[in-house]
Amino acid sequence: MAEKKSLGRAFRLAFPKTIPVLTGFLVLGVAYGLLMSSRGYGPFWSLLFGATAFCGSMQFVAVTFLTGVFQPFQVFLMTLMVNARHLFYGLSMLQKYKGAGKFKFFLIFLMCDETFAINSSVEVPEGVDKKDFYFAVSVYDYSYWLISSFLGGVIGNFFTINTTGLDFALTALFVVLFIEQLKTRKNAVSGIIGIGAASLALLLFGADRFVIPAMGIILLVLLVCSKPIERLDTTHEKGNFEK
């Protein structure tokens, strides 16, 4: 009984933290559902794909694969490149998700950019078990995506909409999340490193192959310079607090 109360409290307190994701996913998920509908896939396909794959950026890319010649190796390679960042998300969340018990599998499967952004930085309210709170955030974000994707598919069945440019909505959300993290978290230096590594990899490897090298550069810099970066980020946070 006490465990159920703790989980219920976690869901109540986690909801306000996920409202920005709800608003973003309403746009992104609907856009994804519309894209699927424009390619002949109804709302239930959008729902099923989101429920089983749950990788927003790759789902947008996969719309093209679904309507073209099936090329398994190309799909595998593209999926690896687009979602390679999740390897780094997982490594950085090992300590936070330690001891998650029965929630461990779900926390791993439900990880996405937005969930990582919240769970990696949020201050868990007092009196709430951390694993319950992380699970609540993950479930909310997952639900938002499924509902909005299904809604987009339904809308696409009734209205003919020009979907040109809708896939850019995902990029726009990433930019907004990145800016918000720079403003609110002690990660300004880390953000600059990310921009620098991505720019360098883009110049060296080109737009089609820079994702994995950029991740490698970021990981290397963070491993080698972790303590100086932490000190700089802490100094930046104190400066923002004093202002």
d(CA 185, CA 121): 7
CB 149 within 8 A of CB 53: no
CB 190 within 8 A of CB 92: no
d(CA 25, CA 115): 12
**Torsion angle, alpha carbons of 60, 62, 68, 70, to 10:** 170
Exposure of 74 in the CB half-sphere (CA atoms within 13 A): 10
CB atoms within 10 A of CB 23: 12
pLDDT at 137 over 70: yes
pLDDT at 242: 46
User: Tens digits of per-residue pLDDT, 65-80?
Assistant: 887 777 888 788 778 7
d(CA 203, CA 16): 40
**174 band by pLDDT with thresholds 50, 70 and 90:** low
pLDDT at 236: 53
d(CA 94, CA 87): 11
CB 15 within 8 A of CB 134: no
The pTM (predicted TM-score) of the whole model is 0.71
